[in-house]
Amino acid sequence: MESIKNSKSLLAVIRLLKYTVVIVPIVAGADKFTNLLTNWEQYVNPSIARILPFSTAIFMKIVGIIEIAAGIIVLKKTEIGGYIVAAWLTVIALTLLLGFNYVDVAVRDLVMAISAFSLGRLHKLAV
Q: What is the pLDDT of residues 65-81, one digit of tens each?
A: 999 999 999 999 999 99
Q: What is the pLDDT of residues 26-43, one digit of tens each?
A: 999 999 999 999 999 999
Q: Are 123 and 16 in contact (CB under 8 A)?
A: no
At residue 80, φ and ψ (nearest 5 deg) are -65, -35
Q: Are 85 and 114 in contact (CB under 8 A)?
A: no
Q: What is the pLDDT of residues 77-125, one digit of tens each?
A: 999 999 999 999 999 999 889 888 899 999 999 999 999 999 999 998 8
d(CA 115, CA 122) in angstroms, rounded, equals 10
What's the domain range around 69?
A: 2-126
Domain count, the chain: 1
pTM for the whole structure: 0.89
For residue 54, CA distances in Å to 9, 33, 37, 58, 97 come to 47, 16, 23, 7, 23
d(CA 100, CA 111) in angstroms, rounded, equals 17
For residues 3-7, give the mean pLDDT. 64
Chain centroid, CA 48 distance in Å: 20
Which residue type, as a one-letter code, is found at position 102? Answer: Y
At residue 60, φ and ψ (nearest 5 deg) are -70, -30
d(CA 40, CA 25) in angstroms, rounded, equals 14
